[in-house]
Amino acid sequence: MKLLSCCTSYLPRSCLLICLLLFSSVLRADIWVIDVDGAIGPATADHMERSLDKAITAEASLIVLRIDTPGGLDMAMREMIKVILASPLPIVGYVSPSGARAASAGTYLLYATHLAAMAPGTNLGAATPVQLGGGSPGLPNMPGSDDAKDGKAEGESKGEAAAPPGDAMERKVVNDAVAYIRSLAQLRNRNGDWAERAVREGVSLSANDALEQGVIELVADSMENLLTQLDGRQVALAKKSVTLSTDGETIHYQPVDWRSEFLAVITNPNIAYILLMVGIYGLIIEFYNPGIGLAGIVGAASLLVAMYALQMLPISYAGMGLILLGIALMTAEAFAPSFGLMGISGAITFLTGSVMLMDTNLPAYQIALPMIIALTVFSIGLLVFALSMLVKARHRKVVTGTEHLIGTMATVGRVDGASAWVWLEGELWHTRSESPLQLNEQVRVTAIDGLTAVVSKPTEGDY
């Protein structure tokens, strides 16, 4: 019986210990797989950085960065590359599954990883900075083009390309991008010449062509095949070289947590734009009708979330200023009508600012034009509604103060000699009249003198 009681008392502890061991085995998985999926932005960078920190804490031996992206924001991409370059763990970039791509910013990420791999049927490249707009700026003359027919052999012109067309800012951005990707190529001993062409000319490569040209190290059709090929390879880290041992290692697929998902939602330019409008209009409504109401609470919360999201996005402050000016003009029209001048100007300014708000040509980070038009129409409709209510209010009879009592009919409720009082809206008012008044007589109020109602007997037309 004593043995049975001891086993029973230690049973919960044993179960807890087993659960902790199982949980720690998950946390201490040797290989962590982190997905970079979709357009690269603040949410993607946040997910990768925090996942890498968790992998380091869990003492992982290898991180596989599974990439499938059309590109993204330069700011977020550079933050991710800084984290990769400073990582104490080896990071393998793997463009997967088949049909995926590492375009634009994804090409830079792949070049930054310690080892680069691709699945069959994937591609990389097209790394020209698209925020410049208007095609691929700064392209060098291609062999065989009219401008390149200068009598030189193809190899003689290497490194002597003519100055790229475009203005100084375009050349600076392209040259900066070229230098950046070349530095990554030199760091990882990869094909720097092709990397430069990917930036200047926007060229792309398939997986097998990338392997042949020294852009990547491996082509693997699955995660298992990739780990098999990685086994025994040496990777040079910042302070040491390590030999990868992937045979029989456990794999942990790091999911996107709620924080990154929430960040991905609010940093969507359309959502951030809507939150901004809700915040501004909510505060306007609250200021128009002061009080701790729903409009003020929702407006303040939406505006704060919108500001947090917008500071992570490439916004144009000129566009933001035009939006605020447009709303101010439309609001001023509602409170101080100018026969539509300020309202129409405000609507045009608001529309222009909304189009200019996102300072990038990346489709994933542009505000949808139907969304802009819809909110502009809504703002104009709100302005028309406010103006119509104002016009109605001006023609409405006064219902506050003593002025609204003038012209109303009253009944004499008390007579005391030469003095008389009338019932006016449920109250007895002292009266002054040019003619004597009688009890229950109907009179008309002609003026209010302090607390005295000046009355007169009505004529026949008043009845």
Q: What is the pLDDT of residue 190?
A: 95
Other beta carbons less than 10 A from residue 227's beta carbon: 20
Averaged pLDDT score across all residues of the chain: 80
Confidence band, pLDDT 50/70/90 cuts, at residue 179: very high
Helix (H), strand (E) at residue 455: strand 452-456
Bigger pLDDT: 423 or 45? 45
Segments making up each domain of the chain, as ranges: 12-256, 261-395, 403-462
CB 266 within 8 A of CB 305: yes
Least trusted range by pLDDT, from 8-12, 392-396, 397-401: 8-12
| pLDDT recorded at residue 155 | 38
**The pLDDT value given to residue 11:** 43
Q: pLDDT digit string (tens) for 198-256?
A: 999 999 999 999 999 999 999 999 999 999 999 999 998 877 888 998 888 899 999 98
Instruction: Indicate the CATH number for domain 12-256.
Output: 3.90.226.10
Residue 46 pLDDT: 92
Which CB contacts under 8 angstroms, 24+ apart, belong to 97-103? Answer: 97/68, 98/122, 98/221, 100/67, 100/68, 101/68, 101/69, 101/70, 102/67, 102/68, 102/69, 103/69, 103/70, 103/71, 103/127, 103/204
pLDDT digits (tens, 9 = 90+) for 57-103: 999 999 999 999 999 888 899 999 999 999 999 999 999 999 999 99
Q: Judging by beta carbons within 10 Å of its beta carbon (0-12, 13-18, 19+), is residue 94 exposed, middle or buried?
A: buried
Predicted local confidence at residue 22, as pLDDT: 41
Contacts of 225 (CB under 8 A, 6+ apart): none
For the chain, helix (H) and strand (E) counts, in that order, are 14, 16
pLDDT given at position 314: 85
Element (H, E) at 295: helix 294-310
pLDDT tens per residue across span 247-292: 888 999 999 888 888 988 898 889 999 999 999 888 877 877 666 6
* Confidence band of 448 (pLDDT split at 50, 70, 90): confident
Three-class HEC string of 355-416: HHCECCCCHHHCCCHHHHHHHHHHHHHHHHHHHHHHHHHHHCCCCCCCHHHCCCEEEEEEEE
Question: Which pLDDT does position 453 carry in this prediction?
Answer: 78
Cis status, amide bond into 70, omega within 30 of 0: no
**pLDDT bracket for residue 143 (50, 70, 90):** very low
CB count within 10 Å of CB 85 equals 14
- Decide: pTM greater than 0.75: no
What SS3 state is found at 81? helix
Max avg pLDDT among 112-116, 133-137, 455-459: 112-116
Whether 403-462 and 12-256 are alike in CATH topology: the answer is no
Does residue 173 surpass a pLDDT of 60? yes
**pLDDT at 152 (0 to 100):** 37
CATH topology of domain 403-462: OB fold (Dihydrolipoamide Acetyltransferase, E2P) (2.40.50)
Write down the pLDDT at residue 20. 40
As a whole number, mean pLDDT of residues 157-184 equals 73
Tell me, what's the pLDDT at 395? 58
pLDDT at 390: 62
Looking up tokens 């402050």 gives 317
pLDDT at residue 346, as a whole number: 85
d(CA 126, CA 113): 18
pLDDT grade for 360, boundaries at 50, 70 and 90: confident
pLDDT band at 193 (very low <50, low <70, confident <90, very high): very high
Whether pLDDT at 406 is above 50: yes
Q: What is the mean pLDDT of residues 147-166?
A: 40
**Locate tokens 């949410």: which residue?**
43
pLDDT top residue among 271 and 461: 271
In whole angstroms, give the CA distance from residue 344 to residue 6. 84
Residue with tokens 């600012």: 353
pLDDT tens profile 278-336: 998 888 778 776 666 788 888 889 999 999 988 888 888 898 999 989 888 887 776 66
Q: Which of 233-247, 401-415, 433-447 has the lowest mean pLDDT?
A: 401-415
Alpha carbons 111 and 121: distance in angstroms, whole number: 19
